[in-house]
Amino acid sequence: MTHKITFSAIVVEDERLIAKNIIKNIYRANESFEVVGTASNGKEALELIESFLPNIVLTDICMPVMDGLELSKFIFEKYPFIHCVIISGHSDFSYAKTAIRYGVSDYLLKPINLGELTTTLDKIEKNLLASQNDFKVDEFSYKKPNEIVELVTEYIKNNYHETIDLAGLASHFGFSISYLTKIFTKYMNMTPSKFIKEYRINISKQLLWNFSLPISTVGEKVGYPDQFHFSKTFKQITGMSPSDYREQLKLIN
């Protein structure tokens, strides 16, 4: 008997009855998808996404705390391997245009048309299956997940000053973005992208002790040729700008 592959889904909708209807239609449209969680706003959805790393997120636009477009942007930037589908009561083209910019897989209007939902889920299923089969049969394929994670972290530590991103890592080691992110997060409690950021910033902290080294050069040495991007990431991780951090070091010194 062939085991049927199941893909995980999260539904984000602040109206409980509508959420139940969406879930019911998902199961009617494509049995390969299993809803593993529901959220009433984007902030709740983020917690579920970090816990489950679902294959697909179906979200409304107008919600409290964090709306669907903000959520789509976050998914696009942090979890590019997760498919995002907007289900909205707004046919305004500006919403759809913004959604497209954030890489959403589809934009469906309420009330949901079962045929359209079926087409969307079938398309995403094919994409996910193709991604799962896109493994290279090489030396990495025969290693245990924890061994792969060790190799990935070692690679990052040796190449942090180069251009490294999630897609490049997945391609180098011959695995899909989804698989690599899942095993890395399981053993490191953070995504590969976050590990790269934190490792680079930790190295930059050491380089900032060299007060004669321009901050722009520090950024370049840790893989951030754009000084604005470096400063933004540094502040995101440490809570202060590189220049403020250096001033604190001078006081210590």
Q: Tally Cβ neighbours within 10 Å of residue 203.
A: 17
Contact 72, 63 (CB under 8 A): no
Domain borders along the chain are 7-132, 139-252
Per-residue pLDDT at 140: 53
The Cα–Cα gap between 199 and 24 comes to 43
Report residues of the chain scoring pLDDT below 70: 1-5, 91-97, 131-143, 253
Contact 5, 31 (CB under 8 A): no
Q: Which amino acid makes up residue 139?
A: E
The Cα–Cα gap between 53 and 136 comes to 23
Q: Matching CATH topology for 7-132 and 139-252?
A: no
Tens digit of each residue's pLDDT (9 = 90 or more) over 21-34: 999 999 999 998 98
Q: 7-132 sits in which CATH class?
A: alpha beta
Q: Tally Cβ neighbours within 10 Å of residue 241.
A: 15
The answer for residues whose C-beta is within 8 angstroms of residue 225's C-beta and 6 or more apart is: 219
pTM: 0.55
Which numeric CATH code is attached to 139-252? 1.10.10.60
Per-residue pLDDT at 130: 74
Q: Tally Cβ neighbours within 10 Å of residue 189.
A: 9
